[in-house]
Structure 1
Amino acid sequence: MIEETLVPGAVVSEVARRHGLAPQQLFTLRRQARQPAGADAASEAPQFVPAVVEAALPQGAVRRRAVLILHRSRQSLVRKRRFQATALKS
């Protein structure tokens, strides 16, 4: 994957998505690969392991999961606002 991003005209975000990664993950892998071995004594050289790509979920399952996450986020926000309002009244 890292080699794909080094090709002239390659877009890191597109390569990452094609392999099922977030662009930030691929940027991190590129940064780690550029570091010379032993550059930082406190950290070990990055160890790469094979990525396991699972079959994609059916579209309905993805949507249900997204709705569930959104619902939980809203509930959390409501609880936070109630707590803040109660704290202000005290």
Structure 2
Amino acid sequence: MAKKRRQASPSNRPSSAEQPATLKDLLSSEMVDKLKAQANEIRAEEEKRKEEERKKAEQARKAEQERLDNDFEHLLKNSNLDWRKYK
């Protein structure tokens, strides 16, 4: 049988008046909005930077693959030597 979870009684929970003030409560709403906007800008810049890094890595991978495709030695080493399939 599954045991039922006991719910904390309302008398055990601290009320909002008893809780210490948070930084959000201490700052003005104008300052909180500025901080949120700044955080959003930082996130957007981070996403943009990650996207640029991903594109650079993709371009580097394509350039390396193109270089290897033009390298006869590499193609010879990595080719399938079973020529009977291509008759």
TM-score range, shorter chain: 0.3 to 0.5
Asked which structure has the greater CA Rg, the reply is: 2
Structure with the greater relative contact order (CA < 8 A, sep ≥ 6): 1 or 2?
1
TM-score by length of structure 1 reads 0.44
